[in-house]
Amino acid sequence: MKKIALLLTFFLFLLLTAVTTLADDSTPPAPPTVEPEIEQISEPTVEQAAGIRTIVRLSWKLVPGAVRYKVSFDNEVSTTYINGIELEVDNVSKVFHVAALDINGRIIKPDIDVTQIETNPIAPRPTTEFEKMDYGPLYPVYSWIPTFGADYYQIQVFKNDELVRSYEAFKSGNDDAYDFYDEYPVNEGGDYYWRVRAMSHHGFAMSEWSERTDNVSFKVTSPNKVCALGDSITHGGGAVTVPPSMTIYNWETYCDVPVKNLGKSGDTTDVIVERFENDVLPFEPKVLIIMAGVNDYRGTIFGWHSVSNYRALVDKCNYYGITPVFITPTPVNAKLIKKSKFIELPPYDWQTHYQFLCDWIRKQPYHIDLTSAFEDDSSELRADLTSDGLHPDEEGKRIIGHAVEEWLKANEALWNY
């Protein structure tokens, strides 16, 4: 019996083993384990790199008479008011074409050479030309090539390496900021320089500060034998958009005798009289060139009032031992002003007051009469000398500079002693 029981037990064991094997064979095999491949990263090709957006900064020389510049590459077109621009591109090897436009948008120079191309600049590039000026500016204008994507700019001015002024310059509508007119005179002796950096609307710096170079540095000294007092015609700037920080539209550029520029854009003769002590006396001039009045007669100030201010300037000069030399103010061109649309039209009788000022100046012992050089047949400002009908451009400033030089050389005994 024991043997029979053992045989039955063995038989049942074999049967269970067979059933288990069959059940296992019905289950599908697991997929083999596959190790993931490691992606090999290599240096990008030129084609791959072309898809990366890069900031490039282009620079070129100013073109006389240019109000704007058109920059094109591929099918993209951008415009700028200054001789440089920052662009976002996908390939720094693109060919850039720059053309100069006048106030009417007409091309006056179709192909301008790009003098410098920078990739991903870390700071704005100042465009001031202080190193070309005989003397440091009394009312500096700080200008730069706008930074791509900036919301506003911070400006700092240093005197003898100490921070003395801080400003902020904001965009105007869709136009980026590219210059800032200092409202306060730099009338204390010292070594000055300025710098700028781009900012985001959150108040974070988008760039480093611009570098300290010769073109942002100037020295203020005294005495200066010859100074020039006036409004924007003396302060400088032209072709609508070029600021006084660029020498091309400053008449002092074309005068071989060094002249200290005491001009301030927008001044009437009332303001010029008020700032005489603060802005003229620190420089102790022997001769003061005075060219003012255009902002009077193109506004609401009558000729007799302007002449009373002229007389006040004469009295002040006489009191301080300064020789005043008056230049006839430039006329305006009402048709061009109306066409420009951004300058207020002069009153209908502006010429009456203009002539009143010129007649008074011609009677002064020391004066320079430029009416024949600037007037057209209608006694308005010659159209070939201005872009906006108000400010003389390069040739007009050259006429003034040469006339002042000629007078100063002919009357050297009055100032060069």
pLDDT digits (tens, 9 = 90+) for 331-386: 999 999 999 888 999 999 999 999 999 999 999 999 999 999 999 999 999 999 99
Lowest mean pLDDT among 46-50, 175-179, 242-246: 46-50
Q: How confident is the model at residue 278 (pLDDT cuts 50, 70, 90)?
A: very high
Asked whether residue 29 carries a pLDDT value surpassing 70, the answer given is no
Lowest mean pLDDT among 47-56, 205-214, 297-306, 381-390: 47-56
In the chain, pLDDT over 90 holds for what percent of residues? Answer: 82
Q: What is the pLDDT of residues 398-417, one digit of tens each?
A: 999 999 999 999 999 999 99
> What are the CB-based long-range contacts (under 8 Å, 24+) for 402-405?
402/254, 402/255, 403/327, 403/368, 403/370, 403/373, 404/228, 404/251, 404/255, 404/257, 404/259, 404/289, 404/327, 404/368, 405/254, 405/255, 405/256, 405/257
Kindly report the average pLDDT of the chain as a whole number: 89
> pLDDT value at position 52?
60
Asked whether residue 44 carries a pLDDT value surpassing 90, the answer given is no
> pLDDT value at position 260?
98
> pLDDT value at position 234?
98
* Integer Cα distance of 237 and 242 in angstroms: 5
Q: Report the top-level CATH class of 222-417.
A: alpha beta
> pLDDT value at position 12?
39
Lowest mean pLDDT among 50-54, 238-242, 271-275, 318-322: 50-54
- Give the residue extent of every domain in the chain: 52-119, 122-221, 222-417
**CATH code for the structural domain at 122-221:** 2.60.40.10
